[in-house]
Chains A and B, each alone.
Chain A
Amino acid sequence: MPDGTIDHPPGQVLSPVATSTQAPPTFESLGLEEHGLSQRTLAWRRFRRHRLAMASLAVLLLLALATALAGVIAPYGFSEQHLEDTLQGPGAKHLLGTDTLGRDEFSRLLYGGRVSLLVGLGVAVSAGVLGTLIGAAAGFYGGRLDNIVMRVTDLFLSIPLLVVLIIASRVTGGGTLDIVIVLALVLWMPLARIVRGMFLSLKEKEFIEAARMIGASNWRIIFRHLVPNSLGVIVVNVTLTVALAILTESLLSFLGFGIQPPTPSWGNMLEDGRGLMTIAGWLVWFPGAAILLTVLCVNFLGDGLRDALDPTQRRVRA
């Protein structure tokens, strides 16, 4: 739903961001052939051609590195106050300026970035694992389990995302781990439904029937056949969940329900700066731009991954 939380399940929102579709004759029908390359090599090649995704990957790695090394790179601590330098604009001594307590924006941006990126990654991975496992079980075994999963997800997906998160955040504290847990416990649901859907449809396909006929056990079917075929969709959705998690965490923190000070996150830095934005615009520009850049790169990356991995998408660039 609106408000930056965008309740559309991650895969659903950006699936329309497909950048191309088929032209009438396919490679096969025109007598062209890829010479015996594995799926993985083909996927890697396709991904490499998506320059924007590659560039985004580079930027993200750089960001991750910078924030991970915040302790080394940052000129000041994130709570370090310099009361003689309050509300300075960007300058030599403080690269990106200071806030009311004289804290260095650049350092806070780095430490805050660490929190925001950790949250994004942590949520995506845990929600990804949880959602995949539960969705796979529901889709594969069906029956009671599937029913329960569907009803539970129905319940939580009927309540606006932010509402659920705000209510949940009352129960927990405001630490990074708390927020990761809260977000993960909610964001696994859209992914679970997607995986469930995939398993449900894959289950009916003939190659699964064939596998059963030669006596493959359930485990084997799941791990050798169903999972690899869903992997592309899963990876894409997990990537997009990173974007959603970062945006949601910053929104929550901005509203005061997320990461609590003094731990900086880009979200609560924005909240801090909001009141002073008319006289100290830099307190608002930089954290917001940081979020925008990160999420944009993640979305480009997700798009590139989708082009490379999602078999349901057809693409020929004319």
Chain B
Amino acid sequence: MLRFILRRLLISVPLLFVASVLVFTVLHLTIDPAAGVRVNPRISAADVQRYRHDLGLDRSGPAQYFAWLGNFVQGKWGHSLFSSTSVSGEIREALVNSMVLGVTGFTIALLLGVTIGVIAAVRQYSVFDYLATSGAFVALSIPVFWFALILQLLFGLYLVRWLHLEQPIFYTAGMVQPGSVGFDLLDRVRHLALPAVVLAVQLIAVYSRYMRASMLEVLNSDYLRTARAKGVRERRVIVHHGMRNALIPITTQAAIDLGGLAGGLIATEAIFQWPGMGALFVRVMDNGDYAIALPWVMLTMAFVIVFNLVADILYAVLDPRIRYA
């Protein structure tokens, strides 16, 4: 098992390297970080030159890349190209914010999704099952940003109007009230609610369907029939035999999804102006700040790779038929 893990990690390193080269190339070819400066008529050409030299932009592409790479692997992520903020600081802050949103939405979705899926399977073809299925279909088909906009309209406009509220129940933008200091839990929750719901809804649709299908397969399995034939109590049959097996595919999928949270919230954060990794990414793609963009990509990839590995390990732990050499 240990060798398996090491081998996987080793293979990932070249992947990360290749990805960084690709991203750098695209950015280098398509964005000129000095553009903002260049078009400013009050800055002389000589100054522009100096600016570019300071940022190291007058070197060749590969030279810039390897200079960056050299620093990167030593852990020196340096500063943003445009401001004096440290790259690691910016990314860390954004990551924390994204994780707060992501983990909240994810947890809600997992708990609800699994529950709904199990009930739908045990009461197959019932009204509940029908509603759950329809709901999942709609949730999977609805454009997430549209859904988010509707929520914003609802909470930010209609409810305020109809209920004559001073403030919306749940806020529609940002992570905290502008200008606030300190940590106010209630305020945070009111800001977190809507984006978390938007995230959760998509995941619930997937998890409930997975759980339902998995549970149905297990409910019709031979070993469940054997368990009943043994005279085991129905509750234990469902939990100890049914769910124990049905949860396996979900667990691995959930682990994979967790890995995707780092970089997967771009649209949600854009709509709700949540200052997370997604917002950071959009910003640096606009201005070409590869000092941030490259570590960003590497970090999100690393997340995905590590959690995919976790998923595989979990699978082996949960299912004794799978054991890696």
Contacts and interface: CB of A to CB of B under 8 A. Distances in A.
A159 B149 contact: no
Contact of B15 (A8, A158, A295): A158
Interface string A1-29: 11111111000011111111111100000
A296 B141 contact: yes
A158 B133 contact: no
A162 B264 contact: yes
Q: Is the interface of A mostly helix, strand, loop or mixed?
A: helix
B144 A4 contact: yes
B135 to A, nearest CB: 12
A291 B143 contact: yes
Contacts of A162: 263-264, 266-267
B266 A295 contact: no
Nearest to B18: A155
Interface in A283-299: 284, 287-288, 291-292, 295-296, 298-299
B96 interface: no
Contacts of A158: 15, 19, 301, 304-305, 308
B138 A254 contact: no
Interface stretch (A83-91, A98-106, A131-139, A274-282): A274-282
B210 interface: yes
Interface in A261-318: 267, 270, 274, 277-278, 281, 284, 287-288, 291-292, 295-296, 298-300, 318
Interface stretch (A40-48, A213-221, A243-251): A243-251
Q: Is the interface of B mostly helix, strand, loop or mixed?
A: helix
Interface in B240-260: 253, 257, 260
Interface residues of A, number: 56
B223 interface: no
A260 B264 CA distance: 23
Contacts of B82: none
A3 B144 contact: yes
Contacts of A274: 149
A154 B27 CA distance: 22
A13 B136 CA distance: 11
Interface centre among B11, B138, B141 (most CB of A within 10 A): B141
B157 A278 contact: yes
Contact of A7 (B141, B199, B260): B260
B33 interface: no
B261 interface: yes
B194 interface: no
Contacts of A163: 263, 266, 281, 297, 300
A6 B308 CA distance: 16
A15 B213 CA distance: 8
A1 B145 CA distance: 14
A63 to B, nearest CB: 14
B105 A2 contact: yes
Given A1-B264, A171-B29, A292 B141 contact: yes
B152 to A, nearest CB: 8
B206 A6 contact: yes
Nearest to B260: A1
A159 B304 contact: yes
Contacts of B300: 159-160, 163
Given A1-B257, A6-B202, A17-B133, A288 B125 contact: no
Nearest to A160: B263
Given A17-B136, A270-B149, 17 more contacts: A2-B257, A151-B15, A162-B266, A166-B281, A167-B23, A170-B30, A170-B31, A247-B143, A250-B145, A270-B146, A277-B153, A281-B153, A284-B149, A284-B150, A291-B143, A296-B138, A318-B125
In the A-B complex, the 10 residue pairs with the smallest Cβ-Cβ separation, listed nearest first, are A4-B144, A1-B264, A16-B209, A288-B146, A1-B260, A16-B213, A295-B141, A160-B263, A296-B141, A3-B267
Interface of A: 1-8, 13-24, 151, 154-155, 158-160, 162-163, 166-168, 170-171, 243, 247, 250-251, 254-255, 267, 270, 274, 277-278, 281, 284, 287-288, 291-292, 295-296, 298-300, 318
